[in-house]
């Protein structure tokens, strides 16, 4: 009898641990989702509201036009054409999306992160210098590490989820790449735009301390127009 109780307790405790993995909240699919009491004011259900399956049509699963180059006539010289849940509704809840990236000669996809996705990039044309930087190491004596490569047509490179990365066209011709991202809504945080171009601006006292420079440097950077390529 006593043995049975002990066995039961062991089984129960093990079962509790086994279910722990399934008891956690789902990962967010957008920057935030503030709770509302009035259902009419609701927009997201951690992603998008689902269409009635009986009303779903083939058009819900197609996006056309990624064969067309993006317009790179801007100060950064690149253009991202996204195909995420906002362009292709069938991607909702599927955890995947795509982009086309065009680069003029000297064009840059500036340092940015995708808070919700790993990115796998395939170069079709041109020569890109790409890289990503690790998050802060546990040992404060060690710097964040850069992993960078020159990429040529046919090369595939992966940017791990959340890490700051970039691509720079170092060739004399246009460059084209396609990428898959492990989220229906990867999000983009362009470092310079977020830090120096926010609305309202971050108090310059914060940035002079953070970057250890004089206030006129921060004033200059905050006065720039931070172009957004996607
Ligand atoms: C590309 O963008 C530039 C600047 O916005 C614009 O002047 C030009 O007409 C665009 N080109 C095409 C082909 O859309």
- Residue closest to 82 by CA, chosen among 180, 220, 160: 180
Q: What integer pLDDT is reported at residue 37 of this predicted model? A: 72
Ligand 1 centroid from CA 187, angstroms: 25
Q: What integer pLDDT is reported at residue 104 of this predicted model? A: 98
CATH architecture of 25-187: Sandwich (2.60)
Does 125 appear as a known binding residue?
no
**Successive 10-residue mean pLDDT values, the chain, 230 residues:** 52 51 71 72 73 90 97 96 95 94 98 97 98 95 97 98 98 98 96 96 98 97 90
Ligand 1 centroid from CA 56, angstroms: 36
Does 193 appear as a known binding residue?
no
Q: Where are the domains of the chain?
A: 25-187, 189-230
pTM: 0.84
């Amino acid at each position: 009898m006593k043995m049975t109780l002990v066995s039961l307790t062991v089984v129960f405790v093990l079962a509790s641990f086994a279910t722990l993995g399934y008891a956690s909240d789902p990962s967010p699919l957008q920057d935030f989702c503030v709770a509302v009491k009035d259902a009419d004011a609701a927009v997201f259900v951690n992603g998008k509201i689902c269409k009635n399956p009986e009303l779903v049509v083939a058009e819900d699963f197609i996006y056309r036009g990624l064969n067309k180059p993006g317009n790179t006539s801007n100060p950064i010289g690149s253009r991202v054409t996204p195909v995420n849940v906002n362009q292709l509704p069938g991607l909702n809840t599927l955890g995947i999306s795509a982009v086309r990236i065009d680069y003029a000669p000297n064009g840059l996809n500036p340092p940015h992160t995708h808070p919700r996705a790993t990115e796998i990039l395939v170069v079709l044309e041109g020569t890109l210098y790409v890289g990503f930087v690790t998050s802060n190491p546990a040992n404060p004596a060690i710097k964040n590490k850069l992993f960078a490569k020159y990429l040529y047509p046919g090369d595939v490179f992966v940017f791990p989820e959340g890490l700051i990365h970039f691509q720079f066209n170092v060739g004399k011709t246009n460059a084209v790449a396609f990428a898959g991202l492990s989220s229906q809504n990867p999000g983009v945080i362009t470092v310079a735009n977020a830090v120096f171009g926010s609305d309202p601006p971050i108090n310059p006292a914060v940035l002079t301390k953070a970057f250890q420079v004089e206030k006129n440097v921060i004033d200059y950077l905050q006065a720039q127009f931070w172009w957004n390529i996607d």
